[in-house]
Amino acid sequence: MKTDVAWKYDVSVDGDARKVRCKFCEKTFTGGDYRLKHHLAGTSKDVGACRSVPEDVKKEMLGIVSSLQQNLLKKSGDIEGIGSSFAAQLEGGDIGSQNLFKRKVSSQMTINKIFKKDLREEACQDIALFFYLNAIPFNAANSEAYKKMFESVARHGPGFDPPSYHEIRVKYLKYHVEMTNLSLDDHKTYWKKFGCTIMTDGWTDRRRRTILNFLVNSPLGTIFLKSIDASKICKTADKIFKMLDDVVEEVGEENVVHIVTDNAANYKAAGEMLMKKRTKLYWTPCAAHCIDLMLEDFEKKIPLHSETIASGRRITSYIYGRTSLIALLHKFTKGGDLIRPGLTHEKPAMGFIYEEMDRAKEKIQDAFRGDESSYIPLWEIIDQRWDKQLHRPLHAAGYYLNPILHYAPNFKVDWEVKRGFIDCMEKIVGDFEIIGKIDDQLQDFKKKKDLFGHPIAQRALNTKSPADWWESYGDKHLELQQFAIRVLSLTCSSSGCERNWSVFERVHTKKRNRLLQKTMNDVVYVMANSKLNKKRVRKEKNYGIEDLSSDDDWIVEENDQISDLNSLNEDILEVGQDIGTSGGGDALVDDLDVPPIEEYELIGVEVVGDANAINENEDNIDDGCQEKIYALLND
């Protein structure tokens, strides 16, 4: 009588015990229960795998043949006690049965690796589904925190109980706020020693709310201080002054050298009011914004510039209104776009902006080969913005104290520079006894005495920033050193705030978000400072790469070309929102890759100008223009 468990899946053939027929696929073969087990287990060892066997039977047979294989290995001394963990892992899902028995397994690690591969596959499927159902952007998987999270769970082992909604919202948010505060202690030490710049910038979200972001910059880097929903605050100079004054009080008046804001009239008036109250600090408008306005003035006031830019916009709109041209463009630009402006968020250093403005004017003059009728109109536009909005005593002092420029053969000092330098000393230092010492020490700096003229110090002009140079070689001239570092460490731009708009929008722009204001601010505080610190660490490692802006490719980006995006935006989960209120699972268009050249499908494209108007008036674009565009892309 046949008692082996495998025989219940056998159909007798002519009463021959050596012949078996599988009851599932009806295949007949010789070899008895040994080959039948491998046939049903799908190992392909000495017999073909059954293609009709139920999954539970396959796992049962695989468990049996696996146990037999382990017993053989134990007897041969190849492995020691696998225990029951191997059999338990069979419950994890479908396993690579064919690979298991194609060759002799020589260690427990090899067997476990096979099963872990399938366990990982099952876990990855669950993780991916979590991303899909909760509308999480795919590039979140590139986050260091994402990888660290799973490493921590793996160290815990089986039975990990994930944090609850309340724990994430309250307990652990409070913990990370405290950790962020501790991580900023070094920055506060730098503020006291070298001074700092408060940067602020406002933006309007999709719900037309005004959000003001406040950041603090010092030689150690930039930190996020807080954001304010200013929608209900009247944007008068008095109200803005009150907000700026409160931030100065929070940072410490003795630490603040400089405040940078937008150059709108109300901010300018608020800045003047602040300088009257806080007599040792400067307010200046954002240099990057002023330069952007100069370029806009070129377009508005010079017809040739206006015509050129209008043509560029028209060509861009034409290209981005046709999917075949987009695909062709991406092929030759390796995924680049015409619609993205050049990055202007690099901070212009205080020690260089004065000189760079002069150099820019000289280059414009050279470009027109000295033709005054061509370059003078541009100079007048630049001077109007520079003299009335941007130029401040701080810029003159930065120019004078910058050793790279001061020791250059073409360095020149006029009355304007000297006046600015003296005004800056009087305002920032204040104490005339210390000012006298600084004036005496300046003679050594100008004549390259002591370490200033040492060959190592002169070589370092090409390798160190101006502030670092003073810290390295100005120790004998302590008062001058401290003053120079406080000036040269300052930033001229508030565009550091703009770089983080996406961070604030993820939290502030909420449709069904029930976060309290304090909780929301805490989330932004942790998120923004984590990103800023990551960038600072990356700079210290001297990586030759730009900030990973892909972290900001949030799935709620506006896109007029995709009709389904508005409905998608309604279903986006905001920070702290219940999963049950979301209609997640829609297509995540902005995270998809750019289609290859043969796939003419418009995915996640931002269009400049009125694309519909371009399409409606397509016939108005002459064939010659179309041919030129195609030729340009193929060139």
Indicate the pLDDT class of residue 629, thresholds 50, 70 and 90. low
Whole-angstrom distance, CA of residue 416 vs CA of residue 211: 38
Q: What is the DSSP secondary-structure string of 423-474?
A: HHHHHHT--HHHHHHHHHHHHHHHTT-GGGGSHHHHHGGGTS-HHHHHHHH-
Residue 513 covered by a domain: yes
For residue 110, the model assigns a pLDDT of 54
Other CB atoms within 10 A of residue 230 CB:
16
Lowest mean pLDDT among 332-341, 361-370, 600-609: 600-609
Q: End of a domain among 103, 127, 151?
A: 127
Q: End of a domain among 535, 552, 569?
A: 552
Look at residue 15 and tell me whether its pLDDT is greater than 80: no
Residues 123 and 183 in one domain: no
pLDDT digits (tens, 9 = 90+) for 46-70: 788 888 888 888 888 888 887 777 7
Residue 369 covered by a domain: no
Look at residue 513 and tell me whether its pLDDT is greater than 80: no
Q: Select the more confidently predicted residue: 386 or 418.
A: 418
Indicate the pLDDT class of residue 359, thresholds 50, 70 and 90. confident
Residues 25 and 123 in one domain: yes
Residues 110 and 191 in one domain: no
500-508 mean pLDDT = 54
Supply 70's token pair: 């382990």
Indicate the pLDDT class of residue 544, thresholds 50, 70 and 90. very low
For residue 614, the model assigns a pLDDT of 37
Percent of the chain with pLDDT over 70: 69
Whole-angstrom distance, CA of residue 288 vs CA of residue 614: 32
Give per-residue burial for 358-370: e unless 16+ CB within 10 Å, then b. Answer: eeebeeebeeeee
> Across the chain, what does the average pLDDT equal?
73
For residue 462, the model assigns a pLDDT of 86
* Residue 392 near residue 263, CB atoms below 8 Å: no
For residue 456, the model assigns a pLDDT of 93
For residue 414, the model assigns a pLDDT of 84
Look at residue 213 and tell me whether its pLDDT is greater than 80: yes
Residues 200 and 279 in one domain: yes
Residue 523 covered by a domain: yes
196-210, 309-323, 618-632 — which one is most confidently predicted on average? 309-323
Look at residue 106 and tell me whether its pLDDT is greater than 80: no
For residue 326, the model assigns a pLDDT of 82
For residue 73, the model assigns a pLDDT of 60
pLDDT digits (tens, 9 = 90+) for 253-281: 999 998 988 888 888 898 999 999 998 89
Residue with tokens 């330069």: 291
Residue 263 covered by a domain: yes
Residue 444 covered by a domain: no
What is the number of structural domains in the chain? 2
Look at residue 205 and tell me whether its pLDDT is greater than 50: yes
Q: End of a domain among 86, 103, 127?
A: 127
Residue-number span of the structural domain to which 87 is assigned: 5-127
List of long-range contacts for 400-403, beta carbons under 8 Å, 24+ apart: 401/351, 401/466, 401/470, 401/483, 401/484, 401/487, 401/488, 402/351, 402/352, 402/355, 402/466, 402/488, 403/445, 403/452, 403/461, 403/466, 403/469, 403/470
Reference 582, options 594, 567, 590, 570; nearest CA is 570
Q: 3-class DSSP state for residue 199?
A: strand
Reference 228, options 497, 534, 572; nearest CA is 497
For residue 198, the model assigns a pLDDT of 92
Residue 430 covered by a domain: no
Q: Select the more confidently predicted residue: 31 or 250.
A: 250
Whole-angstrom distance, CA of residue 363 vs CA of residue 74: 82
Residues 108 and 23 in one domain: yes
Q: Select the more confidently predicted residue: 454 or 350.
A: 454
pLDDT digits (tens, 9 = 90+) for 572-601: 333 333 333 333 333 333 333 333 333 333
Residues 9 and 102 in one domain: yes
Lowest mean pLDDT among 109-113, 267-271, 374-378, 579-583: 579-583
Supply 568's token pair: 């998608």
Lowest mean pLDDT among 315-329, 393-407, 427-441: 315-329
CATH of the domain at 200: 3.30.420.10
Q: Residue 105: beta bridge partners? A: none
539-558 mean pLDDT = 38
Indicate the pLDDT class of residue 520, thresholds 50, 70 and 90. confident
Lowest mean pLDDT among 9-18, 20-29, 69-78, 124-133: 69-78
For residue 565, the model assigns a pLDDT of 30
Residues 204 and 278 in one domain: yes
Whole-angstrom distance, CA of residue 251 vs CA of residue 621: 57
Whole-angstrom distance, CA of residue 532 vs CA of residue 550: 15
Residues 119 and 14 in one domain: yes
Separation in Å, CA 612 to CA 30, 320, 339, 414, 563 = 73, 11, 17, 56, 13
Separation in Å, CA 188 to CA 195, 220, 532 = 9, 10, 15
Indicate the pLDDT class of residue 230, thresholds 50, 70 and 90. confident
Residue 144 covered by a domain: no
Lowest mean pLDDT among 14-18, 83-87, 388-392, 591-595: 591-595
Look at residue 215 and tell me whether its pLDDT is greater than 80: yes
For residue 127, the model assigns a pLDDT of 92
Look at residue 504 and tell me whether its pLDDT is greater than 50: yes
Residues 103 and 11 in one domain: yes
Helix residue spans in 302-428 (DSSP H): 303-320, 323-333, 353-367, 372-385, 393-401, 403-406, 415-428
Residue 299 covered by a domain: no
